[in-house]
Chain A
Amino acid sequence: AQSVTQPDIHITVSEGASLELRCNYSYGATPYLFWYVQSPGQGLQLLLKYFSGDTLVQGIKGFEAEFKRSQSSFNLRKPSVHWSDAAEYFCAVGAVGGNKLVFGAGTILRVKS
């Protein structure tokens, strides 16, 4: 069965600083991997996804993520955080050709000025 671990429940960074949110997955084959963002009171919005090809994927809002098969990781990064990035971030894994997603517990990002 698929599972996702986001080890950091909360992260606080200063505006302008770089950001890395960790995600580790467990899945028996090559997974589909996703990062979603949830702003307060809102639904989830897809930031980026990986399902094949280049292991460094670019997403919206200046985010990128790198798939590392050897580490079963799909960490999210941003070189310079903006105050509007404060939100909760979810990593998710899906099976190739499947419909179901399994989400991690989420990481709450706080941005201090």
Chain B
Amino acid sequence: DAGVIQSPRHEVTEMGQEVTLRCKPISGHNSLFWYRQTMMRGLELLIYFNNNVPIDDSGMPEDRFSAKMPNASFSTLKIQPSEPRDSAVYFCASSLDRRGGSSYNEQFFGPGTRLTVL
């Protein structure tokens, strides 16, 4: 199994530029999560999708951030325009949502994208 794939692994851009981060979840998983990790705020959930539909985007910081999941095997997180305070590591995670019973949904994390906005 290839695991969760994220690209690029590192991104350096200038303030005001558009940034697009990409994620390919584990095949068969139906939930996808975007997290941001910073020293100051730790690991924060930005948004998550279930069956390609955004379920909770309450963690998205502001309108500059948007996320899409056009199909079950691909998601993007876009920042436009980017600002230095967006510098962070962005993680994508996926899980298989087994509804009902006492199941839990283990999240599998990708390696992250380290974003630096100058």
Contacts and interface: CB of A to CB of B under 8 A. Distances in A.
B91 A44 contact: yes
A49 B103 CA distance: 12
A98 to B, nearest CB: 8
Interface residues of A, number: 23
Interface of B: 4, 31, 33, 42-43, 45, 48, 50, 55-56, 91, 93, 95, 97, 99-100, 102-112
A105 B43 CA distance: 7
Contacts of A42: 111-112
A26 interface: no
Contacts of B95: 99
Contact of A106 (B33, B43, B45): B43
Given A49-B104, A99-B105, A43 B45 contact: no
Given A43-B109, A99-B31, A51 B42 contact: no
A6 to B, nearest CB: 9
Given A43-B111, A96-B102, A100-B56, 13 more contacts: A32-B104, A44-B43, A44-B91, A46-B106, A46-B108, A97-B99, A97-B103, A99-B33, A99-B55, A99-B105, A100-B45, A103-B43, A106-B42
A101 B102 contact: no
Contact of B45 (A46, A96, A97, A101): A101
Contact of B106 (A49, A96, A105): A49
Q: Find the residue from A36, A96, A101, A106 having the highest chain B CB count within 10 A.
A: A101
B42 A103 contact: yes
A43 B106 contact: no
B4 A43 contact: yes
A90 interface: yes
A99 B103 contact: no
A32 B103 CA distance: 10
A51 B110 CA distance: 24
B71 to A, nearest CB: 19
